[in-house]
C-alpha cells in the first residue's frame, strides 16, 4: 500500500529535491509576473461584467455610468500599485501587509490583516476557478450540467502543479498568461480599429433590453447603486498584494525586482480593464444578474447561461462565436482565470508559513515538502476552496459577494502601517534627498490609506447583506483562533523551558516487560530490558484466562527465565487498568523512581495486517503517556512479510520532514 502510494505520488509530484537546491527555485521577473500577478491580470475578464450586472438592476438607463465607475477603479488601482511598490522595497522579507501591520501597528492589527489575507486567498481560488469555468461554459453551454465537477477537477490540477514546486508551476502558468494578455490586447486594438474605421463591433445582445428590478432610482438610492457597482468593480484589484508576500521568491535584488513586477502588473491590468470596459460600451453588451430580466434572450432563462461580457466582445470583434480567435480568447481567458488561483496557491502557503513560524498557526505549515513547496499549506487551501465551490454551487456571482472585504481590510491597515513606518524613518533621515524620498512615500501611503479605507466602508455597506457578513464573521474567528494557537505554543514553551540546570538523577529505575505469550518478541524485550541494567526487572502478565496464564507460567519455568513473572488479576478482563494500578504501586514507594515499560510488538508487512495485531499495545501505550514518571519503549519484532521492505522504501516517504541541508555525500535523486 505504502509503495503504491509512493509511486503515484512520484508520478504526480516528482522526485524530492535537496534543501540546498532552494536557491535554484528563485524566480526571474518573467516567471514571477504570471505566478504572482495572474489573479489581478485575470480579474479584468469579470470586473467590467460585475459593474454592469449591478447597474442592470436599474435597467439600461444606468449603463452610461459604467465608464465613470471603471475610471474610479483605475484610480484606485494606481494608488494601490504605487503604495505596494513602497511596501516591497521597505519590507522585502515577504511578510507583506502582515509584517507591515505587525511591526508598525502591533500584533493585533497584524493578525487582523493575516486573517483577512487568508480569507482573501481562499476566495481567490474559489472565484477564479468558478469564473474560468463560466468562460468555458460560455463557449460550450452543454457543460453547464457539470459545473461543480469541473471546478473541483481544476482545483485538483492546480494543487498537483503547485506541489511540484515553484519553478515548475511558473513554467506551466507563464505561457497561458502571456497568451491571454496578447489575446486581450489584440482584441482591444482590433476593436478600436474597427470603431475608428466606422464599423464598430456589435454584441449579440445589443438589441436586447433589460427589465429593471428597481424603478425610479434617484438621490441616495442611485448613489448607493453606483457605490455598489464600484465595490463590485474593485474585484480588478484582487491579488495585487500577492507580490508583497512573495518577495523572497524573487531573484536578487529582491525588492527592486518585486517593485518592477508590481509596475508591470499595474500597467497591464489598467490597459486591459479600460479597453474591455470601453469596448463593452461601444458594442452595447447587455448582461443582467437575473437572466430572465434580459428581454430578447433566446434561450431558456431558467437553465441556459448568458454569455460573459468578454465572450460577447470577442464574438463581436473577431467575427462571430465560431471564429478561431473567439475560441482562442475564450480558451486563454478560461485558462488564466483558473490559473489565477495560482496567486493564492503561492501567497497562502507563504503567509501561513510566516504565521506558523511566529507560532500563530500549526508548525506543520512552516515545513517544506518534497519539492521545496509548502505542501501542507497548498493542500489546506485546496480543501477549503473546494468546500466553498461545493456549498455555493460554483456560482461566481454568489462567491464574489464574499470577496473584496478581506482585500481592502489588509490594504487599509497596511497603508496606515506604512505611514507610521515613514514617520519613524523620517526621524532617522540624514540628508535632504532622503527626507524628500521619505516624505513622498508617506504622502503616497497616506493617500492610499484614506482611499482604501473609504472603499472598505463602501464595500461593507453595499455587500454586507449580500454575503459579505460571512467574511466579517470569519476574520474575527480566525483572529481568535490564531491567538489561541499562539497562547498554546507559549504555554508549552514556558512549561518546557528549564528553570535552572539540574543534574538530579532518578533514585531507581524499575523495568517492566509486558508479556501476553512466551515467544520471540517477548524474549527480545526481556533481553533489551536486561541490557539497560535497571534496579529491578519484572515481567508482568494480565490474567484474563486462567488456563492460558497457567500455561504461560509453565513455559516460563520450563525455559528457566531468570526474570520474575508477576501475574496481575483482572476479574473484568481489562488490560490497561491493572497495569496502571501496579505502576502506581511501584512508584508510590518513592516518587523519584522511574518506571520503564517495555512493550513487545509485531512489525507487519501489509497495512491491513495492523488491524489484526498490536491493538491492546496501542491502547496501553496511549494511556501510559499520561502517567508521570513512566517511560514506554516499543520493542519491534519484524515478521517475515515485513523483511526487505526497507530496501524498497523510497528515499523520502510522504510526511518526511526535511528542514536542513542533507548530509554530505547524499546524492540528489535523478
User: Is 574 or 107 the better-scoring residue by pLDDT?
Assistant: 107
The highest-confidence range among 525-539, 600-614, 622-636, by mean pLDDT, is 525-539
Q: Distance between CA atoms of 458 and 405, rounded to whole angstroms?
A: 10
User: Is 70 or 432 the better-scoring residue by pLDDT?
Assistant: 70
Segment 101-120 mean pLDDT: 90
Segment 48-57 mean pLDDT: 87
Q: Grid coordinates 527626507 are at which residue?
A: 435
- For 268-298, what is each residue's pLDDT tens digit? 999 999 999 999 999 988 888 778 878 877 7
User: Is 194 or 215 the better-scoring residue by pLDDT?
Assistant: 194
pLDDT-derived band at 192, boundaries 50, 70, 90: very high
In the predicted structure, residue 658 carries a pLDDT above the cut 60: no
Segment 43-48 mean pLDDT: 83
pLDDT at position 644: 56
pTM of the model: 0.71
Q: Grid coordinates 516499543 are at which residue?
A: 634
Closest among 505, 204, 162, 176 to 343, alpha carbons compared: 162
User: Is 311 or 661 the better-scoring residue by pLDDT?
Assistant: 311
pLDDT-derived band at 111, boundaries 50, 70, 90: very high
pLDDT at position 317: 92
Q: Grid coordinates 425610479 are at which residue?
A: 216
Q: How far is CA 598 from CA 226, 473, 525, 577, 594, in A?
A: 74, 50, 6, 17, 13
Under 8 Å between Cβ of 452 and 76: yes
Looking at 93-102, 369-378, 569-578, which range is the least confident one? 369-378
pLDDT at position 17: 56
CB atoms within 10 A of CB 581: 12
In the predicted structure, residue 524 carries a pLDDT above the cut 80: yes
Alpha helices in 56-139 (DSSP H): 66-90, 96-105, 107-139
Quick one: how many helices (H) and strands (E) in the chain? 23, 7
Q: How far is CA 398 from CA 70, 131, 403, 431, 456, in A?
A: 22, 11, 10, 53, 19
pLDDT more than 90, % of the chain: 16
pLDDT at position 232: 82
Segment 91-112 mean pLDDT: 86
Segment 548-562 mean pLDDT: 89
- For 219-273, what is each residue's pLDDT tens digit? 778 888 888 888 888 878 777 777 877 787 788 888 888 888 889 989 999 999 9
User: Which grid coordinates belong to 79?
Assistant: 494608488
Segment 316-328 mean pLDDT: 87
The average confidence (pLDDT) of the chain is 81
pLDDT-derived band at 90, boundaries 50, 70, 90: confident
The highest-confidence range among 50-64, 91-105, 407-421, 609-623, by mean pLDDT, is 407-421
pLDDT-derived band at 79, boundaries 50, 70, 90: confident
In the predicted structure, residue 6 carries a pLDDT above the cut 60: no
User: Is 165 or 155 the better-scoring residue by pLDDT?
Assistant: 155
pLDDT at position 502: 57
Q: List 27's β-bridge partners, or say none.
A: 250
- For 158-168, what is each residue's pLDDT tens digit? 888 777 765 55
pLDDT-derived band at 538, boundaries 50, 70, 90: very high
Burial class (CB in 10 A: 0-12, 13-18, 19+), 599: buried
User: Which grid coordinates belong to 101?
Assistant: 501591520
pLDDT at position 501: 61
Amino acid at each position: 500500500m505504502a509503495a503504491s502510494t509512493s509511486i503515484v505520488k512520484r508520478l504526480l509530484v516528482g522526485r524530492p529535491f535537496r534543501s540546498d537546491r532552494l536557491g535554484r527555485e528563485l524566480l526571474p521577473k518573467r516567471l514571477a509576473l504570471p505566478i504572482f500577478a495572474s489573479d489581478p491580470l485575470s480579474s479584468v475578464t469579470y470586473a467590467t461584467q460585475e459593474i454592469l450586472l449591478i447597474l442592470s438592476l436599474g435597467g439600461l438607463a444606468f449603463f452610461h455610468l459604467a465608464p465613470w465607475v471603471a475610471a474610479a477603479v483605475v484610480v484606485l488601482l494606481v494608488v494601490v500599485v504605487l503604495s505596494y511598490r513602497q511596501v516591497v522595497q521597505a519590507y522585502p522579507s515577504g511578510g507583506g501587509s502582515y509584517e507591515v501591520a505587525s511591526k508598525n501597528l502591533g500584533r493585533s492589527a497584524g493578525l487582523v490583516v493575516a486573517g483577512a489575507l487568508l480569507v482573501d486567498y481562499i476566495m481567490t481560488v474559489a472565484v477564479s476557478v468558478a469564473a474560468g469555468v463560466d468562460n468555458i461554459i460560455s463557449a460550450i453551454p452543454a457543460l453547464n450540467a457539470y459545473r461543480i465537477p469541473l471546478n473541483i477537477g481544476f482545483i485538483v490540477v492546480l494543487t498537483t502543479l503547485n506541489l511540484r514546486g515553484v519553478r515548475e508551476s511558473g513554467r506551466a502558468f507563464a505561457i497561458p498568461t502571456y497568451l491571454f494578455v496578447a489575446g486581450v490586447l489584440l482584441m482591444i486594438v482590433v476593436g478600436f480599429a474597427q470603431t475608428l474605421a466606422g464599423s464598430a463591433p456589435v454584441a449579440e445582445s445589443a438589441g436586447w433590453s433589460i427589465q429593471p428590478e428597481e424603478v425610479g432610482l434617484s438621490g441616495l438610492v442611485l448613489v448607493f447603486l453606483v457605490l455598489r457597482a464600484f465595490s463590485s468593480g474593485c474585484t480588478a484589484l484582487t491579488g495585487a498584494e500577492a507580490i508583497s508576500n512573495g518577495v523572497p521568491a524573487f531573484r536578487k535584488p529582491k525588492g527592486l525586482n518585486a517593485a518592477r513586477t508590481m509596475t508591470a502588473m499595474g500597467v497591464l491590468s489598467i490597459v486591459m480593464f479600460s479597453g474591455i470596459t470601453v469596448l463593452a460600451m461601444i458594442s452595447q453588451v447587455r448582461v443582467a444578474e437575473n437572466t430572465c430580466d434580459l428581454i430578447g434572450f433566446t434561450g431558456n432563462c431558467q437553465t441556459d447561461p448568458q454569455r460573459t461580457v468578454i465572450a460577447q466582445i470577442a464574438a463581436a470583434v473577431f467575427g462571430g462565436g465560431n471564429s478561431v480567435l473567439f475560441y482562442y480568447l475564450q480558451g486563454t481567458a478560461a485558462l488564466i482565470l483558473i490559473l489565477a488561483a495560482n496567486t493564492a496557491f503561492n501567497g497562502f502557503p507563504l503567509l501561513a508559513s510566516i504565521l506558523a513560524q511566529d507560532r500563530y498557526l500549526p508548525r506543520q505549515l512552516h515545513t517544506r515538502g518534497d519539492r521545496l513547496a509548502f505542501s501542507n499549506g497548498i493542500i489546506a487551501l485546496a480543501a477549503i476552496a473546494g468546500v466553498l465551490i461545493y456549498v455555493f454551487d460554483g456560482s461566481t456571482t454568489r462567491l464574489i459577494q464574499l470577496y473584496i472585504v478581506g482585500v481592502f481590510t489588509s490594504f487599509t491597515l497596511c497603508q496606515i502601517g506604512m505611514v507610521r513606518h515613514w514617520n519613524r524613518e523620517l526621524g532617522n533621515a540624514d540628508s535632504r534627498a532622503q527626507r524628500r524620498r521619505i516624505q513622498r512615500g508617506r504622502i503616497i501611503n497616506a493617500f492610499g490609506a484614506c482611499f482604501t479605507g473609504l472603499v472598505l466602508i463602501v464595500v461593507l455597506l453595499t455587500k454586507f447583506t449580500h454575503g459579505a457578513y460571512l467574511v466579517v464573521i470569519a476574520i474575527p474567528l480566525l483572529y481568535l483562533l490564531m491567538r489561541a494557537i499562539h497562547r498554546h505554543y507559549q504555554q508549552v514553551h514556558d512549561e518546557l523551558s528549564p528553570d535552572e540546570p539540574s543534574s538530579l538523577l532518578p533514585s531507581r529505575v524499575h523495568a517492566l516487560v509486558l508479556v501476553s505469550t512466551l515467544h520471540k518478541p517477548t524474549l527480545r524485550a526481556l533481553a533489551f530490558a536486561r541490557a539497560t541494567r535497571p534496579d529491578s526487572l519484572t515481567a508482568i502478565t494480565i490474567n484474563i484466562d486462567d488456563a492460558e496464564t497457567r500455561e504461560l507460567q509453565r513455559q516460563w519455568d520450563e525455559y528457566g527465565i531468570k526474570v520474575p513473572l508477576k501475574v496481575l488479576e483482572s476479574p473484568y478482563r481489562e488490560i490497561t487498568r491493572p497495569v496502571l494500578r501496579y505502576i502506581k504501586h511501584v512508584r508510590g514507594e518513592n516518587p523519584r523512581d522511574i518506571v520503564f515499560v517495555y512493550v513487545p510488538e509485531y512489525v507487519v508487512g501489509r497495512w491491513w495486517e495492523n488491524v489484526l495485531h498490536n491493538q491492546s499495545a496501542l491502547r496501553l501505550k496511549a494511556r501510559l503517556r499520561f502517567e508521570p514518571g513512566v517511560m514506554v519503549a516499543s520493542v519491534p519484532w519484524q515478521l517475515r512479510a515485513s523483511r526487505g521492505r526497507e530496501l524498497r522504501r523510497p528515499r523520502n516517504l510522504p510526511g518526511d520532514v526535511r528542514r536542513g541541508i542533507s548530509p554530505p555525500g547524499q546524492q540528489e535523486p535523478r
